[in-house]
Protein backbone atom coordinates (compact mmCIF):
# COMPACT_ATOMS: atom_id res chain seq x y z
CA UNK A 1 0.00 0.00 0.00
CA UNK A 2 1.44 3.36 -1.02
CA UNK A 3 -1.04 5.90 0.17
CA UNK A 4 -1.45 9.66 0.32
CA UNK A 5 -3.82 10.93 2.99
CA UNK A 6 -5.23 14.18 1.79
CA UNK A 7 -7.37 16.68 3.69
CA UNK A 8 -7.59 20.13 5.22
CA UNK A 9 -5.89 20.90 8.55
CA UNK A 10 -7.77 19.06 11.30
CA UNK A 11 -9.48 16.59 8.93
CA UNK A 12 -8.06 13.60 10.82
CA UNK A 13 -5.16 12.56 8.59
CA UNK A 14 -2.79 11.95 11.51
CA UNK A 15 -5.35 9.97 13.54
CA UNK A 16 -6.25 7.72 10.62
CA UNK A 17 -2.60 7.27 9.62
CA UNK A 18 -1.75 6.08 13.14
CA UNK A 19 -4.46 3.44 12.97
CA UNK A 20 -3.24 2.17 9.62
CA UNK A 21 0.32 2.03 10.93
CA UNK A 22 -0.81 0.02 13.97
CA UNK A 23 -2.72 -2.46 11.85
CA UNK A 24 -0.50 -2.73 8.78
CA UNK A 25 2.94 -1.64 10.01
CA UNK A 26 3.57 0.78 7.17
CA UNK A 27 6.03 3.63 7.20
CA UNK A 28 4.21 6.85 8.10
CA UNK A 29 5.64 10.18 7.07
CA UNK A 30 3.96 13.35 8.27
CA UNK A 31 5.85 16.31 6.86
CA UNK A 32 4.27 18.50 9.57
CA UNK A 33 5.65 16.20 12.31
CA UNK A 34 9.05 16.06 10.62
CA UNK A 35 9.19 19.86 10.43
CA UNK A 36 8.09 20.29 14.06
CA UNK A 37 10.82 17.84 15.12
CA UNK A 38 13.41 19.80 13.13
CA UNK A 39 12.29 23.00 14.87
CA UNK A 40 12.48 21.36 18.33
CA UNK A 41 15.98 20.12 17.56
CA UNK A 42 17.05 23.51 16.21
CA UNK A 43 18.39 22.10 12.93
CA UNK A 44 19.04 24.22 9.83
CA UNK A 45 15.90 22.75 8.28
CA UNK A 46 13.92 23.77 11.35
CA UNK A 47 15.26 27.31 11.19
CA UNK A 48 14.23 27.57 7.54
CA UNK A 49 10.74 26.27 8.26
CA UNK A 50 9.78 27.98 11.50
CA UNK A 51 8.64 31.39 10.25
CA UNK A 52 6.42 29.88 7.56
CA UNK A 53 4.89 27.37 9.95
CA UNK A 54 4.21 29.82 12.77
CA UNK A 55 2.11 32.01 10.52
CA UNK A 56 0.34 29.05 8.96
CA UNK A 57 1.98 29.42 5.57
CA UNK A 58 3.36 26.56 3.52
CA UNK A 59 7.06 25.84 3.83
CA UNK A 60 8.89 26.17 0.46
CA UNK A 61 8.52 23.12 -1.80
CA UNK A 62 12.26 22.40 -1.98
CA UNK A 63 12.46 22.03 1.81
CA UNK A 64 9.63 19.52 2.17
CA UNK A 65 10.50 17.63 -1.01
CA UNK A 66 13.98 17.02 0.46
CA UNK A 67 12.45 15.47 3.59
CA UNK A 68 10.15 13.20 1.61
CA UNK A 69 12.84 11.98 -0.77
CA UNK A 70 15.10 11.02 2.12
CA UNK A 71 12.29 9.07 3.77
CA UNK A 72 11.22 7.28 0.60
CA UNK A 73 14.76 6.12 -0.11
CA UNK A 74 14.87 4.30 3.23
CA UNK A 75 14.43 0.51 3.08
CA UNK A 76 11.41 0.81 5.41
CA UNK A 77 9.49 2.57 2.64
CA UNK A 78 9.85 -0.29 0.17
CA UNK A 79 7.12 -2.32 1.89
CA UNK A 80 4.62 0.51 1.71
CA UNK A 81 4.08 3.96 3.12
CA UNK A 82 1.57 6.60 4.11
CA UNK A 83 2.23 10.21 3.25
CA UNK A 84 0.32 12.55 5.53
CA UNK A 85 0.30 16.25 4.72
CA UNK A 86 2.33 15.78 1.53
CA UNK A 87 1.98 16.69 -1.30
CA UNK A 88 0.35 20.05 -0.65
CA UNK A 89 1.14 21.83 -3.93
CA UNK A 90 1.14 20.82 -7.59
CA UNK A 91 4.96 21.10 -7.87
CA UNK A 92 5.23 18.74 -4.86
CA UNK A 93 2.85 16.26 -6.48
CA UNK A 94 4.77 16.36 -9.77
CA UNK A 95 8.08 15.93 -7.99
CA UNK A 96 6.68 12.99 -6.00
CA UNK A 97 5.44 11.35 -9.18
CA UNK A 98 8.83 11.77 -10.83
CA UNK A 99 10.74 10.51 -7.82
CA UNK A 100 8.53 7.44 -7.36
CA UNK A 101 9.01 6.62 -11.03
CA UNK A 102 12.77 6.67 -10.49
CA UNK A 103 12.27 4.21 -7.62
CA UNK A 104 10.01 2.15 -9.92
CA UNK A 105 7.09 2.71 -7.59
CA UNK A 106 3.75 4.41 -7.90
CA UNK A 107 1.02 5.55 -5.56
CA UNK A 108 -1.74 3.02 -5.04
CA UNK A 109 -4.34 5.43 -3.64
CA UNK A 110 -5.04 8.99 -2.53
CA UNK A 111 -7.76 9.28 0.09
CA UNK A 112 -9.33 12.65 0.71
CA UNK A 113 -10.93 13.15 4.12
CA UNK A 114 -13.73 15.64 3.59
CA UNK A 115 -14.75 17.87 6.51
CA UNK A 116 -16.37 21.28 6.34
CA UNK A 117 -14.48 24.33 7.56
CA UNK A 118 -16.69 25.11 10.57
CA UNK A 119 -16.16 21.64 12.01
CA UNK A 120 -12.43 21.89 11.29
CA UNK A 121 -11.96 25.14 13.20
CA UNK A 122 -13.85 23.59 16.14
CA UNK A 123 -11.58 20.53 16.07
CA UNK A 124 -8.35 22.52 15.85
CA UNK A 125 -9.30 24.86 18.68
CA UNK A 126 -10.32 21.76 20.71
CA UNK A 127 -6.92 20.20 20.00
CA UNK A 128 -5.25 23.42 21.15
CA UNK A 129 -7.25 23.45 24.41
CA UNK A 130 -6.30 19.82 25.15
CA UNK A 131 -2.66 19.95 24.15
CA UNK A 132 0.06 20.58 26.71
CA UNK A 133 2.71 21.78 24.29
CA UNK A 134 0.42 23.77 22.04
CA UNK A 135 1.16 24.41 18.38
CA UNK A 136 2.04 27.97 17.45
CA UNK A 137 -0.03 27.54 14.29
CA UNK A 138 -3.17 26.51 16.17
CA UNK A 139 -4.18 30.09 16.98
CA UNK A 140 -7.10 31.51 15.08
CA UNK A 141 -5.19 33.77 12.70
CA UNK A 142 -2.77 31.07 11.73
CA UNK A 143 -5.63 28.61 11.29
CA UNK A 144 -7.31 30.97 8.87
CA UNK A 145 -4.03 31.29 6.98
CA UNK A 146 -3.68 27.50 6.86
CA UNK A 147 -7.17 27.17 5.37
CA UNK A 148 -6.35 29.79 2.79
CA UNK A 149 -3.18 27.95 1.84
CA UNK A 150 -5.17 24.72 1.64
CA UNK A 151 -7.90 26.19 -0.56
CA UNK A 152 -5.52 27.97 -2.91
CA UNK A 153 -2.56 25.63 -3.16
CA UNK A 154 -3.62 22.17 -2.02
CA UNK A 155 -7.21 21.72 -3.15
CA UNK A 156 -6.28 21.67 -6.88
CA UNK A 157 -4.52 18.36 -6.17
CA UNK A 158 -7.88 16.64 -5.89
CA UNK A 159 -8.37 17.08 -9.60
CA UNK A 160 -4.73 16.13 -10.21
CA UNK A 161 -5.32 12.73 -8.55
CA UNK A 162 -8.83 12.34 -9.91
CA UNK A 163 -7.34 12.62 -13.39
CA UNK A 164 -4.95 9.80 -12.46
CA UNK A 165 -7.85 7.64 -11.17
CA UNK A 166 -6.32 7.49 -7.71
CA UNK A 167 -8.73 9.58 -5.65
CA UNK A 168 -11.24 8.21 -3.12
CA UNK A 169 -13.29 10.69 -1.07
CA UNK A 170 -14.45 9.82 2.44
CA UNK A 171 -16.70 11.81 4.74
CA UNK A 172 -14.24 12.71 7.50
CA UNK A 173 -16.92 14.29 9.69
CA UNK A 174 -18.10 10.82 10.76
CA UNK A 175 -16.93 9.02 13.92
CA UNK A 176 -13.24 8.03 13.83
CA UNK A 177 -14.16 4.29 13.69
CA UNK A 178 -16.48 4.77 10.73
CA UNK A 179 -13.90 6.84 8.83
CA UNK A 180 -11.33 4.14 9.52
CA UNK A 181 -13.55 1.34 8.29
CA UNK A 182 -14.28 3.22 5.04
CA UNK A 183 -10.59 4.05 4.67
CA UNK A 184 -9.63 0.41 5.10
CA UNK A 185 -12.20 -0.67 2.56
CA UNK A 186 -10.66 1.81 0.12
CA UNK A 187 -7.04 0.73 0.56
CA UNK A 188 -6.97 -2.95 1.51
CA UNK A 189 -5.67 -5.04 -1.33
CA UNK A 190 -3.62 -2.15 -2.74
P1 LIG B 1 0.43 19.72 9.40
O2 LIG B 1 0.93 19.14 10.68
O3 LIG B 1 0.39 18.71 8.28
O4 LIG B 1 -0.86 20.48 9.55
O5 LIG B 1 1.52 20.81 8.93
C6 LIG B 1 1.83 21.91 9.74
C7 LIG B 1 2.57 22.96 8.92
O8 LIG B 1 3.77 22.39 8.41
C9 LIG B 1 1.84 23.50 7.72
O10 LIG B 1 0.94 24.53 8.04
C11 LIG B 1 3.01 23.99 6.88
O12 LIG B 1 3.54 25.19 7.40
C13 LIG B 1 4.06 22.92 7.13
N14 LIG B 1 3.94 21.81 6.15
C15 LIG B 1 3.65 20.51 6.42
N16 LIG B 1 3.62 19.79 5.29
C17 LIG B 1 3.90 20.65 4.28
C18 LIG B 1 4.01 20.51 2.88
N19 LIG B 1 3.80 19.34 2.26
N20 LIG B 1 4.30 21.64 2.15
C21 LIG B 1 4.52 22.81 2.73
N22 LIG B 1 4.41 23.02 4.05
C23 LIG B 1 4.12 21.94 4.84
CB atoms within 10 A of CB 184: 14
Instruction: Flag the least confident range among 63-67, 135-139, 163-167.
Output: 135-139
Ligand 1 nearest-atom number relative to CA 92 = 19
In a 13 Å sphere around the CA of 30, the CA atoms on its Cβ side amount to 14
pLDDT for residue 144 is more than 90: no
Q: Is 132 a catalytic residue?
A: no
Ligand 1 near 6 CB (within 6 A): no
Give the pLDDT score at 126: 84
Catalytic residue (one of 48, 127, 128, 158): 127
Compute φ and ψ for 157, nearest 5 degrees. Answer: -70, -20
Q: Is 146 a catalytic residue?
A: yes
> pLDDT category, 134, cuts 50, 70, 90?
low
Going across the sheet that includes 81-84, the strands are: 27-30, 81-84, 2-7, 109-114, 167-171
Give the pLDDT score at 85: 96
Instruction: Flag the least confident range among 11-25, 56-70, 120-134.
Output: 120-134
CA distance 25 to 171: 24
Q: What is the CA radius of gyration of the chain?
A: 16
Output the CA 31–ligand 1 centroid distance in Å: 6
CA distance 53 to 22: 28
Ligand 1 near 56 CB (within 6 A): yes
Ligand 1 near 7 CB (within 6 A): no
> pLDDT category, 153, cuts 50, 70, 90?
very high
CB atoms within 10 A of CB 103: 12
Q: Over range 74-90, report the average pLDDT.
A: 94
Mutate to test the pocket of ligand 1, among 37, 60, 88 (most ligand atoms within 8 A of CB): 88
H or E segment to which residue 162 belongs:
helix 156-163
Output the CA 140–ligand 1 centroid distance in Å: 16
Tell me what the pLDDT averaged over the chain comes to.
92
Catalytic residue (one of 19, 55, 135, 184): 135
pTM of the model: 0.92
Output the CA 135–ligand 1 centroid distance in Å: 12
> pLDDT category, 132, cuts 50, 70, 90?
low
Q: Over range 177-189, report the average pLDDT.
A: 93
Per-position DSSP letters for 55-85, written without gaps between them: TTPPPPHHHHHHHHHHHHHSGGGGG-EEEES
Amino acid sequence: MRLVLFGAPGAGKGTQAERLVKEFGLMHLSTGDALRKAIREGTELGLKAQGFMDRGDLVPDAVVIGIVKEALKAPAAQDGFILDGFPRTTPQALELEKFLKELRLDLTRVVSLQVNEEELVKRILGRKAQSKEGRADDDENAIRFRFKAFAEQTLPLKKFYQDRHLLTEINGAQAVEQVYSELKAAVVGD
